Amino acid sequence: MTVYDSAQHPDRADGPTPSHTVGPFYGYALPFPGGGDLAPVGHPDAISVHGGVYDGAGAPVPDALVELWQPDQAGEPVRRAGSMRRDQVTGGFAGRDGVTFTGWGRVATDADGQWAARTLLPGARPGRVPYLSLCVFARGLTHHLFTRLYFPAPEYADPLLASLDADRRETLLAKAGPTPGTYRFDIRLQGDEETVFLDFR
Protein backbone atom coordinates (compact mmCIF):
# COMPACT_ATOMS: atom_id res chain seq x y z
CA MET A 1 0.00 0.00 0.00
CA THR A 2 1.33 3.42 -0.93
CA VAL A 3 0.01 6.95 -0.63
CA TYR A 4 -0.68 8.67 -3.93
CA ASP A 5 -0.48 12.46 -3.87
CA SER A 6 -0.96 14.22 -7.19
CA ALA A 7 0.44 17.47 -5.80
CA GLN A 8 3.85 15.88 -5.24
CA HIS A 9 4.26 14.93 -8.91
CA PRO A 10 3.06 17.88 -11.03
CA ASP A 11 5.72 17.38 -13.74
CA ARG A 12 5.41 13.64 -14.22
CA ALA A 13 4.25 12.59 -17.65
CA ASP A 14 2.25 9.78 -16.09
CA GLY A 15 0.60 12.09 -13.55
CA PRO A 16 -3.10 12.87 -13.30
CA THR A 17 -4.95 13.57 -16.52
CA PRO A 18 -7.94 15.89 -16.84
CA SER A 19 -11.14 14.36 -15.55
CA HIS A 20 -13.69 13.11 -18.02
CA THR A 21 -17.12 11.56 -17.90
CA VAL A 22 -17.44 7.80 -17.86
CA GLY A 23 -20.90 6.43 -18.47
CA PRO A 24 -23.72 5.99 -18.94
CA PHE A 25 -24.61 5.87 -15.26
CA TYR A 26 -27.38 3.80 -13.78
CA GLY A 27 -28.55 4.05 -10.18
CA TYR A 28 -30.21 0.64 -10.13
CA ALA A 29 -29.03 -1.53 -7.20
CA LEU A 30 -26.27 0.90 -6.22
CA PRO A 31 -27.82 3.24 -3.65
CA PHE A 32 -30.40 1.37 -1.59
CA PRO A 33 -32.65 2.20 1.38
CA GLY A 34 -30.80 1.86 4.64
CA GLY A 35 -27.41 1.70 2.95
CA GLY A 36 -25.87 3.85 5.64
CA ASP A 37 -27.42 1.97 8.55
CA LEU A 38 -24.52 -0.25 9.57
CA ALA A 39 -25.60 -0.14 13.22
CA PRO A 40 -29.11 -1.28 14.14
CA VAL A 41 -31.56 1.46 15.09
CA GLY A 42 -31.43 2.15 18.81
CA HIS A 43 -28.09 0.44 19.37
CA PRO A 44 -26.63 2.02 22.55
CA ASP A 45 -23.12 2.30 21.06
CA ALA A 46 -24.15 3.74 17.68
CA ILE A 47 -22.21 6.69 16.32
CA SER A 48 -22.88 8.96 13.37
CA VAL A 49 -20.30 9.79 10.70
CA HIS A 50 -21.07 12.37 8.06
CA GLY A 51 -19.42 14.82 5.72
CA GLY A 52 -19.21 16.04 2.16
CA VAL A 53 -17.49 15.05 -1.07
CA TYR A 54 -15.88 18.00 -2.89
CA ASP A 55 -14.14 18.40 -6.23
CA GLY A 56 -10.89 20.26 -6.92
CA ALA A 57 -12.66 23.63 -7.02
CA GLY A 58 -14.31 23.01 -3.67
CA ALA A 59 -17.75 22.41 -5.21
CA PRO A 60 -19.88 19.63 -3.74
CA VAL A 61 -20.23 16.41 -5.76
CA PRO A 62 -23.97 15.57 -5.67
CA ASP A 63 -23.82 12.09 -7.21
CA ALA A 64 -20.93 10.31 -5.51
CA LEU A 65 -21.10 6.99 -3.69
CA VAL A 66 -19.23 6.33 -0.45
CA GLU A 67 -18.70 2.76 0.72
CA LEU A 68 -17.69 1.99 4.29
CA TRP A 69 -15.88 -1.16 5.44
CA GLN A 70 -14.91 -1.81 9.04
CA PRO A 71 -14.22 -4.39 11.75
CA ASP A 72 -16.54 -4.93 14.70
CA GLN A 73 -16.15 -3.42 18.15
CA ALA A 74 -13.54 -6.04 19.05
CA GLY A 75 -11.43 -5.13 16.02
CA GLU A 76 -12.26 -8.38 14.25
CA PRO A 77 -13.41 -8.73 10.61
CA VAL A 78 -17.16 -9.15 10.31
CA ARG A 79 -17.98 -12.59 8.89
CA ARG A 80 -21.71 -12.40 8.32
CA ALA A 81 -23.90 -12.59 5.24
CA GLY A 82 -23.57 -9.58 3.00
CA SER A 83 -25.92 -6.65 3.26
CA MET A 84 -27.01 -6.94 -0.36
CA ARG A 85 -28.27 -10.55 -0.14
CA ARG A 86 -31.94 -10.33 -1.13
CA ASP A 87 -34.50 -11.88 1.18
CA GLN A 88 -36.85 -13.84 -1.09
CA VAL A 89 -39.70 -13.72 1.43
CA THR A 90 -39.81 -10.05 2.37
CA GLY A 91 -38.07 -8.54 -0.65
CA GLY A 92 -35.71 -6.68 1.69
CA PHE A 93 -32.02 -7.16 2.27
CA ALA A 94 -31.18 -10.05 4.59
CA GLY A 95 -28.13 -8.31 6.01
CA ARG A 96 -30.20 -5.24 6.89
CA ASP A 97 -32.45 -6.99 9.39
CA GLY A 98 -32.20 -4.29 12.08
CA VAL A 99 -30.20 -6.59 14.35
CA THR A 100 -27.11 -7.84 12.50
CA PHE A 101 -23.99 -5.71 12.15
CA THR A 102 -22.32 -6.49 8.82
CA GLY A 103 -19.53 -3.89 8.88
CA TRP A 104 -20.39 -2.65 5.38
CA GLY A 105 -22.46 0.19 4.01
CA ARG A 106 -22.97 2.27 0.90
CA VAL A 107 -24.42 5.79 0.81
CA ALA A 108 -24.99 8.28 -1.97
CA THR A 109 -24.30 11.97 -1.55
CA ASP A 110 -27.29 14.29 -1.65
CA ALA A 111 -27.81 17.39 -3.79
CA ASP A 112 -25.36 19.28 -1.55
CA GLY A 113 -22.69 16.59 -1.77
CA GLN A 114 -23.34 15.40 1.80
CA TRP A 115 -23.36 11.82 3.09
CA ALA A 116 -24.11 10.23 6.46
CA ALA A 117 -23.97 6.79 8.06
CA ARG A 118 -24.80 5.27 11.44
CA THR A 119 -22.32 2.67 12.62
CA LEU A 120 -20.33 1.38 15.59
CA LEU A 121 -16.91 2.56 16.69
CA PRO A 122 -14.48 -0.04 15.32
CA GLY A 123 -12.15 -1.78 17.70
CA ALA A 124 -8.42 -1.22 17.37
CA ARG A 125 -5.80 -3.84 16.64
CA PRO A 126 -2.68 -3.76 18.81
CA GLY A 127 -0.48 -0.80 17.94
CA ARG A 128 -3.11 0.90 15.77
CA VAL A 129 -5.94 3.35 16.17
CA PRO A 130 -9.52 2.65 15.00
CA TYR A 131 -10.44 3.54 11.43
CA LEU A 132 -13.02 2.97 8.73
CA SER A 133 -11.97 1.99 5.21
CA LEU A 134 -13.73 4.12 2.62
CA CYS A 135 -14.15 3.65 -1.12
CA VAL A 136 -15.30 6.62 -3.20
CA PHE A 137 -17.01 6.50 -6.59
CA ALA A 138 -17.66 9.79 -8.36
CA ARG A 139 -18.02 11.45 -11.73
CA GLY A 140 -14.77 11.87 -13.64
CA LEU A 141 -13.09 8.97 -11.86
CA THR A 142 -12.09 6.07 -14.08
CA HIS A 143 -11.14 4.14 -10.93
CA HIS A 144 -12.63 4.32 -7.46
CA LEU A 145 -10.51 5.79 -4.68
CA PHE A 146 -9.55 4.24 -1.35
CA THR A 147 -8.96 6.18 1.82
CA ARG A 148 -9.37 5.85 5.57
CA LEU A 149 -11.35 7.67 8.23
CA TYR A 150 -9.50 7.75 11.55
CA PHE A 151 -11.19 8.79 14.75
CA PRO A 152 -9.62 11.36 17.09
CA ALA A 153 -6.92 9.74 19.23
CA PRO A 154 -4.42 11.11 21.75
CA GLU A 155 -1.49 9.74 19.77
CA TYR A 156 -0.90 8.43 16.26
CA ALA A 157 0.32 4.87 16.73
CA ASP A 158 -0.92 3.77 13.30
CA PRO A 159 1.93 3.23 10.79
CA LEU A 160 0.13 5.06 7.97
CA LEU A 161 -0.62 8.13 10.07
CA ALA A 162 2.91 8.16 11.44
CA SER A 163 4.32 8.19 7.90
CA LEU A 164 2.50 11.40 6.90
CA ASP A 165 3.29 15.05 7.44
CA ALA A 166 0.95 16.79 9.86
CA ASP A 167 -1.06 18.61 7.17
CA ARG A 168 -1.57 15.41 5.15
CA ARG A 169 -2.45 13.46 8.29
CA GLU A 170 -5.24 15.91 9.05
CA THR A 171 -7.08 14.90 5.86
CA LEU A 172 -7.60 11.42 7.34
CA LEU A 173 -8.82 12.49 10.78
CA ALA A 174 -12.52 12.85 11.50
CA LYS A 175 -13.56 15.84 13.60
CA ALA A 176 -15.66 15.23 16.69
CA GLY A 177 -19.01 16.98 16.44
CA PRO A 178 -20.78 19.09 19.07
CA THR A 179 -22.97 16.13 19.99
CA PRO A 180 -21.24 13.11 21.58
CA GLY A 181 -20.91 10.22 19.16
CA THR A 182 -20.95 12.36 16.01
CA TYR A 183 -17.99 12.82 13.67
CA ARG A 184 -17.47 14.82 10.47
CA PHE A 185 -15.22 13.65 7.65
CA ASP A 186 -14.98 15.56 4.38
CA ILE A 187 -13.51 13.97 1.26
CA ARG A 188 -11.70 16.30 -1.15
CA LEU A 189 -10.93 14.71 -4.50
CA GLN A 190 -8.32 17.29 -5.57
CA GLY A 191 -6.88 20.64 -4.56
CA ASP A 192 -4.73 22.02 -1.77
CA GLU A 193 -6.46 19.95 0.91
CA GLU A 194 -6.80 16.78 -1.18
CA THR A 195 -7.62 13.76 0.95
CA VAL A 196 -4.87 11.16 1.19
CA PHE A 197 -5.82 8.27 -1.09
CA LEU A 198 -4.26 4.83 -1.01
CA ASP A 199 -2.90 2.73 -3.85
CA PHE A 200 -3.03 -1.01 -3.09
CA ARG A 201 -0.50 -3.13 -5.01
| Mean pLDDT value across residues 145-172 | 87
Q: What is the pTM of this model?
A: 0.83
Contact 122, 75 (CB under 8 A): yes
Contact 1, 198 (CB under 8 A): yes
DSSP secondary structure of 99-165: S---SEEEEE--TTSEEEEEEEPPPPPTT---EEEEEEE-TT-SS-EEEEEEPP-SS--SHHHHTS-
Give the pLDDT score at 16: 60
Contact 132, 49 (CB under 8 A): yes
Contact 129, 150 (CB under 8 A): yes
Give the pLDDT score at 7: 57
**Given pLDDT bands bounded at 50, 70 and 90, which one contains residue 60?**
very high
Of 142, 161, 165, 164, nearest in space to 153 by CA: 161
As beta bridge partners, residue 102 has: none
| Mean pLDDT value across residues 60-80 | 91
Contact 85, 25 (CB under 8 A): no
For 83, phi then psi, to 5°, come to -70, -20
Q: What is the tens place of the pLDDT at every residue in 102-156?
A: 899 999 999 999 999 999 999 987 777 889 999 999 887 888 999 999 998 756 6
134: left (phi over 0), alpha (psi -120 to 50) or beta: beta
By the 10 Å C-beta count (0-12 exposed, 13-18 middle, 19+ buried), 18 is classed as: exposed
Q: What is the tens place of the pLDDT at every residue in 15-54?
A: 565 555 555 566 666 887 788 999 988 899 999 999 999 9
Cα–Cα distance for residue pair 109/90, rounded to 1 Å: 27
